[in-house]
């Protein structure tokens, strides 16, 4: 067995609370989301899972969540790496619209495909209208990597190099590795960990603020499919809430 991997979707954001397609838009945590981050830290402490290194996206909802967790664990000093490759899926022209609004103006099959499918992206945004355009954090990103929309398959493709080069390096060095990311970037990662089919990943929901532990073998495959949530009942409740959206 190699290092332990902990996956954590950020705490509830203001956009989560309002049911908005957010993607690469930067939004803060709600007070409840901050409470979720503190609860996640308590679960990690109770399980004696103290991270040696942390990886986050470039969006503040993951950065704030990680900061709260590390502060409560007295682990502020450990290395933190950030990458756009862990960003949430880019929702294209749906960005900024509520799920209720989008659901009301299209048929159920199309809405579900945009939300849950492996290969169907939402309609593309107009060039130059949404992040990463005019955002300093993406200045070094090659223009041909700037998304106008993304399917989950696209997220998987841009995440894999970071997984292989950075996260796997930490795991191979037997570091307890915490990845604080987003619902869809974590779904893309779990697709690889659990070797999910495209139909399997459509049914996968990652709840906010619930630490998910994976113990991995020497090939970085999960010893237990699906991993282990540190609070299974709360995770199931929150995952059901995501599913109802």
Q: What's the domain range around 142?
A: 4-244
Number of domains in the chain: 1
Find, among 5, 24, 133, 33, the residue nearest to 86 by Cα: 24
Which member of 32, 55, 72, 88 is catalytic?
88
Within 10 A of 175 (CB to CB), how many other CB atoms are there? 19
3-class SS letters over the chain: CCCEEEEEECCCEHHHHHCECCCCCCCCECHHHHHHHHHHHHHHHHCCCCCCEEEECCCHHHHHHHHHHHHHCCCCCCCEEECHHHCCCCCHHHCCCEHHHHHHCCCHHHHHHHHHCCCCCCCCCCCCCCCCCCCHHHCCCCHHHCCCCCCHHHHHHHHHHHHHHHHHHHHHCCCCEEEEECHHHHHHHHHHHCCCCHHHHHCCCCCECCCEEEEECCCCCECCCCCEECCHHHHHHHHHHHHHC
Contact 22, 57 (CB under 8 A): no
Under-50 pLDDT residues of the chain: none
Indicate if 202 belongs to the active site: no
What's the confidence (pLDDT) of residue 131? 74
Contact 228, 213 (CB under 8 A): yes
Farthest CA pair distance, the chain: 50
Instruction: Record the tokens describing residue 30, joined without a space.
Output: 């709600």
Phi, psi of 207 (to 5 degrees): -80, 155
Among residues 59, 6, 74, which one has the least CA distance to residue 29? Answer: 59
Give the pLDDT confidence score for residue 5 in this predicted structure: 97
d(CA 22, CA 14): 10
State the pLDDT at residue 245.
63
- Would you state the pLDDT for residue 214? 97
Q: Residue 221's domain is classified under what CATH number?
A: 3.40.50.1240
Q: Is 182 a catalytic residue?
A: no
- Looking at residue 1, its pLDDT comes to 56
- Which positions ≥6 away from 172 have C-beta within 8 Å? 2, 3, 220
- Residue 174 tokens read as 């037997």
> Which pLDDT tens digit goes with each residue over 45-57?
999 999 999 999 9
Listed in sequence order, the residues at least 6 apart from 80 whose beta carbon sits closer than 8 Å to its beta carbon are 53, 54, 55, 56, 66, 70
For tokens 């037997």, the residue is 174
Tokens of 16: 């989560």
């Amino acid at each position: 067995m190699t290092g332990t991997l902990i996956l954590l979707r950020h705490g509830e954001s203001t956009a989560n609370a309002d049911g908005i397609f957010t993607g690469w838009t930067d939004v803060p945590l709600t007070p409840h989301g901050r409470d979720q981050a503190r609860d996640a830290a308590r679960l990690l402490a109770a399980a004696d899972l103290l991270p040696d290194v942390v990886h986050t996206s470039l969006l503040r909802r993951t950065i704030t969540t990680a900061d709260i967790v590390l502060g409560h664990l007295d682990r502020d000093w450990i290395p933190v790496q950030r990458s756009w490759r862990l960003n949430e899926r880019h929702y294209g022209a749906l960005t900024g619209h509520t799920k209720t609004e989008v659901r009301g103006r299209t048929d159920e099959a199309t809405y579900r495909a945009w939300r849950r499918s492996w290969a169907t992206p939402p309609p593309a945004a107009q060039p130059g209208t949404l992040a990463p355009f005019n955002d300093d954090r993406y200045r070094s990103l090659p223009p041909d990597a700037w998304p106008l929309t993304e399917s989950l398959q696209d997220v998987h493709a841009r995440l894999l190099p970071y997984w292989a080069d950075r996260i796997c390096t930490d795991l191979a060095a037997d570091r307890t590795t915490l990845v604080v990311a987003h619902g869809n970037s974590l779904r893309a990662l779990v697709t690889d960990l659990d070797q999910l089919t495209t139909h399997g990943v459509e049914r996968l929901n990652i709840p906010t603020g619930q630490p998910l532990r994976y113990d991995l073998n020497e090939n970085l495959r999960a010893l237990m499919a699906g991993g282990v949530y540190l609070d299974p009942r709360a995770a199931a409740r929150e995952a059901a809430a995501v599913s109802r959206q």
